[in-house]
Copies of this chain bind each other. A is one copy, B any other.
Amino acid sequence: MPEASPLRIGIAGTQFMGRAHSNAWLQAPRFFDLPRPIELRAACGRNRMAAEEFARRWGWQSVETDWRALVARDDIDVIDVCVPQALHAAVAIAAAEAGKHVLCEKPLALTQADAEAMLAAVHGAGVRHCVNHNYRRVPAVQLAKQLIDEGRIGRIYHWRATYQQDWIIDPEFPLTWHLQREHAGSGPHGDLNSHSVDLAHFLVGRIESVSCLTAGFIDERPLPGAGAATFSAGTSAQSAARGRVTVEDASLMHVRFASGAIGSFEATRFAAGRKNRNRFEIYGSEGSLAFDLERMNELEFYSRNDPEHVRGFRTILVTEACHPYAGRWWPPGHTIGYEHTFVHTVADFVTAIHTGVAIHPDFVDGLRVIAVLEAALESAASGRQTTVSSIQSPEGVST
């Protein structure tokens, strides 16, 4: 291992994503041969006590309670943006302007305008940028890409994505920030379809137009901690305790790709029994692929080039040394899990920073996802098919 200077990380956000990213920064140097050591310099959370407990557990050397202070520190090289989506733009732009490389959670921004500003900022500052659409880095997904690039799927005709969960299916699940438009932007359309659109871009290509239909199933929900709110004057206890859901509960999209392929997307939080079923299927002139995150170590592959009598969907257990990333972990047949995708992102980002090699998805890719999602919401409102605006890379390369 080289005696390179450490790469010093500051993380903004200490919730679910803060935890997953912290783990990734710790695990990456153990399972990958990184070009530079990692230093977990500072973690930032609004509540000091919680931030300190977080820092203690995950090994962050110091704590900040204001993200502006974090990005201003001169002992930090990388800002890892794990705050709620509504804050992505502010933090990422400030970090770029302070000359930090930026790793940002997905989706990149609440709006296309925000995403464009973020891209302009990182481009203007000349820093490296990456948006963590982490499912690209599942070994089985990388293998899917490889098989497509090898020509084993041929010309792609169909893309189908479903991302299904059921965590708010109980009507008494409270009205958390995820269900309020001002905080979350949208519901599963942004949260889940953003993953699926990124995968579609990665595996199939550019989306030209989109039709979208959204639906709400539960209009009102109990306010969080509603028990304490029931005595508010002037309204009945019942109505006081409830609030309106202002994001969609489900989103369906149909798209046309620039290549002539067509695609369908479905994102919902009302699919009883589906916990994190991020599934896609790809059908091409030479073969087909299917992936399901709930069985993330597997990839299904059908080849029309097999002898006719032995054709069938095969289940590849993507744990062999010859498979992407897999050789870094355990022997064949020893599976990995959800958090490993974050380790892959971090390892690749460190390498990209060190070597200057391109990393995807970057903010251009992240912006392209937002552009599709925004066009879709326009379609949902109008009932008409909508054209997706074409995103130019700041380097002038349209990809």
- Pair A317/B283 contact, Cβ less than 8 Å: no
**Of A91-99, A107-115, A249-257, the one touching chain B:** A249-257
How far is A270 from B153 in the complex, measured between Cα atoms in Å?
Answer: 12
Q: Which of B146, B171, B296 contacts A335 (CB 8 A)?
A: B296
Interface string of A153-188 (1 = CB under 8 A from B): 000011010101101010100000000000000000
Q: Which of A314-356 contact B (CB under 8 A)?
A: 314-317, 319-320, 322-323, 329-340
How far is A316 from B340 in the complex, measured between Cα atoms in Å?
Answer: 22
- Pair B16/A29 contact, Cβ less than 8 Å: no
The residue in chain B whose Cβ has the minimal distance to the Cβ of A266 is B264
Given A268-B158, A320-B308, also A285-B213 (CB < 8 A): no
Given A262-B213, A310-B314, A312-B314, also A288-B302 (CB < 8 A): no
- Pair B385/A331 contact, Cβ less than 8 Å: no
- Chain A: interface secondary structure? mixed
Q: Quick one: which of A217, A260, A275 has the most chain B CB within 10 A?
A: A275
How far is A162 from B320 in the complex, measured between Cα atoms in Å?
Answer: 21
- Pair B254/A272 contact, Cβ less than 8 Å: no
For the complex, is A39 an interface residue (Cβ under 8 Å from B)?
no
Q: Number of copies of this chain in the oligomer?
A: 4
How far is A23 from B306 in the complex, measured between Cα atoms in Å?
Answer: 34
- Pair A338/B338 contact, Cβ less than 8 Å: no
Interface string of A230-264 (1 = CB under 8 A from B): 00000000000000000001101010100010101
Q: Which of B306, B331, B335, B385 contacts A16 (CB 8 A)?
A: B331
Interface string of A45-82 (1 = CB under 8 A from B): 00000000000111000000000000000000000000
Nearest 3 pairs between A and B by C-beta? Answer: A275-B333, A276-B333, A273-B302
- Shortest CB–CB separation between residue A170 and chain B, in angstroms? 8
- Shortest CB–CB separation between residue A347 and chain B, in angstroms? 14
Q: Which of A188-238 contact B (CB under 8 A)?
A: 211, 213, 215, 217
- Shortest CB–CB separation between residue A327 and chain B, in angstroms? 12
- Pair A271/B158 contact, Cβ less than 8 Å: yes
For the complex, is A378 an interface residue (Cβ under 8 Å from B)?
no
| Contact-residue bracket for chain A | 35 or more
Query: Hey, which chain B residues are within 8 Å of A284, CB to CB?
Result: 272
Q: Which of B30, B254, B296, B333 contacts A254 (CB 8 A)?
A: B254
For the complex, is A152 an interface residue (Cβ under 8 Å from B)?
yes
Q: Which of A281-316 contact B (CB under 8 A)?
A: 283-288, 293-297, 299-304, 306, 308-316
Query: Hey, which chain B residues are within 8 Å of A213, CB to CB?
Result: 211, 254, 256, 262, 385
Q: Which of B268, B294, B332, B383 contacts A385 (CB 8 A)?
A: B383
The residue in chain B whose Cβ has the minimal distance to the Cβ of A31 is B23
Query: Hey, which chain B residues are within 8 Å of A383, CB to CB?
Result: 211, 384-385
- Shortest CB–CB separation between residue A326 and chain B, in angstroms? 10
- Pair B302/A311 contact, Cβ less than 8 Å: no
How far is A357 from B324 in the complex, measured between Cα atoms in Å?
Answer: 43
- Pair A252/B250 contact, Cβ less than 8 Å: no
Query: Hey, which chain B residues are within 8 Å of A171, CB to CB?
Result: 285
Q: Which of B57, B276, B312 contacts A331 (CB 8 A)?
A: B276
Query: Hey, which chain B residues are within 8 Å of A359, CB to CB?
Result: none
Query: Hey, which chain B residues are within 8 Å of A304, CB to CB?
Result: 169, 272-273
Given A157-B250, A254-B254, also A336-B333 (CB < 8 A): no
Query: Hey, which chain B residues are within 8 Å of A293, CB to CB?
Result: 333
- Shortest CB–CB separation between residue A174 and chain B, in angstroms? 16
A-B contact pairs, 13 of them (CB 8 A): A157-B268, A160-B162, A164-B283, A215-B256, A273-B302, A273-B312, A274-B288, A274-B333, A275-B319, A294-B297, A312-B314, A336-B337, A383-B384
- Pair A338/B332 contact, Cβ less than 8 Å: no
